[in-house]
């Protein structure tokens, strides 16, 4: 009987001594309360001994914790309704404050993150939320980190994951982007036309300084048009060129050139004149300024 009692006593002593041994992992810190009072020393990782029944240890993880903030509906500064969700990265820097100053630091961080997210959205406009997320993330981190200093928690970073826009706002933004692309296309086309007109003006000044350049350009144009194997060739000729030919023929025959040698159109005739292949030319209606004439020649499409 005495042996049985001794065995029971030994087992109780072993169990009591075993209850005073605690294992603290590398990613944990131990906060010990002795008879409900906090001990100033924080237990580091390893095997730690405590007084059975008198001491109670609370293990606090010090690794970075990722907290997902559910979507929060809020109205921006420019009165646009958004649903925004975010993620918060934080860690415990002071295990004593995390145990003593706040009941459940995980739930507290979650509630602070939700209210701070709605507050930051209300102070920003839609363009800032979409284009400058770094600024919004920094402001959100600063707002969340303010009350958590007393809890012994440090906010590493806060990131907005997704911004859900209403369907009507998506269509409006798509129309805006399409209009912006159309505006850029029009501006680019106008710039191209302006550059082309500048080049044409430079070419016109060069041709004005060299009279033969205009004739060479005219012959080149005729050659380009004739390469299409058309049966009819319409070639515009300046009236000055026809007058030059008339003057040259008058000088060779010894007679003075006359303006009357160029037939004038009748009042019923159209403004554009045509001349046949025999060399007859037409001038403009008033006969004072320069004009153009169209020479039409028939080319055989094939052997007759």
**What per-residue confidence (pLDDT) applies to 257?**
46
Contact 92, 61 (CB under 8 A): yes
Digits of tens for pLDDT over the chain (304 positions)?
778 877 878 877 777 777 778 888 888 999 988 888 888 888 888 888 888 878 888 899 999 999 999 988 888 888 888 889 999 999 999 999 998 888 888 999 999 999 999 989 888 888 888 888 888 899 999 999 888 888 999 999 999 988 888 888 888 888 888 899 999 999 999 999 999 999 888 888 887 787 777 777 777 777 776 666 666 666 666 677 777 777 777 665 555 444 444 444 444 433 333 333 343 333 344 444 444 444 444 444 444 3
Contact 101, 60 (CB under 8 A): no
DSSP E strand stretches across the chain: 21-24, 28-34, 37-43, 46-49, 55-61, 65-75, 81-92, 153-164, 232-238, 273-275, 292-298
Phi, psi of 66 (to 5 degrees): -105, 120
Could you give the CA distance from residue 289 to residue 233 in angstroms, rounded to a whole number? 26
**What per-residue confidence (pLDDT) applies to 88?**
93
**What per-residue confidence (pLDDT) applies to 187?**
93
Could you give the CA distance from residue 163 to residue 105 in angstroms, rounded to a whole number? 27
pTM, entire model: 0.56
**What per-residue confidence (pLDDT) applies to 87?**
93
CA pseudo-torsion sign 285, 290, 294, 295: positive
Tell me the HSE value of 187 on the side-chain side, using a 13 A CA sphere. Answer: 6
**What per-residue confidence (pLDDT) applies to 229?**
65
Q: Give per-residue burial for 77-100: e unless 16+ CB within 10 Å, then b.
A: eeebebebebebebebebbbbbbe
């Amino acid at each position: 009987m005495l042996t049985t009692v001794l065995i029971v006593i030994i087992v109780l002593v072993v169990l009591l001594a075993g209850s005073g041994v605690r294992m603290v992992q590398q990613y944990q810190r131990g906060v010990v309360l002795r008879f409900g009072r906090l001990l100033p020393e924080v237990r580091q990782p390893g095997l730690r001994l405590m007084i059975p029944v008198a001491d109670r240890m609370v293990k606090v993880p010090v690794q970075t914790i990722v907290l997902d903030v559910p979507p929060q509906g809020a109205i921006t500064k420019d009165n646009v309704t958004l649903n925004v969700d975010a993620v918060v990265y934080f860690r415990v820097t002071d295990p004593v404050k995390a145990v003593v100053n706040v009941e459940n630091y995980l739930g507290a961080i979650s509630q602070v993150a939700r209210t701070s997210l709605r507050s930051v959205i209300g102070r920003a406009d839609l363009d800032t939320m979409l284009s400058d997320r770094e600024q919004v993330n920094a402001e959100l981190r600063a707002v969340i980190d303010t009350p958590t200093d007393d809890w012994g928690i440090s906010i590493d970073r806060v990131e907005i994951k997704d911004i859900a826009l209403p369907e009507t706002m998506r269509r409006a933004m798509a129309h805006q982007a399409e209009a912006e692309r159309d505006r850029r296309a029009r501006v680019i086309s106008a710039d191209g036309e302006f550059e082309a007109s500048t080049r044409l003006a430079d070419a016109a000044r060069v041709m004005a300084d060299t009279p033969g350049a205009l004739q060479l350009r005219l012959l080149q144009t005729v050659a380009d048009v004739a390469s299409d194997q058309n049966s009819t060739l319409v070639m515009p000729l300046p009236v000055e060129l026809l007058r030059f030919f008339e003057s040259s023929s008058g000088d060779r025959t010894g007679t003075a050139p006359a303006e009357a040698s160029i037939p004038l159109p009748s009042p019923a005739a159209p403004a554009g004149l045509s001349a046949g292949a025999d060399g007859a030319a037409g001038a403009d209606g008033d006969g004072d300024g320069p004009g153009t004439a169209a020479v039409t020649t028939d080319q055989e499409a094939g052997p007759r």
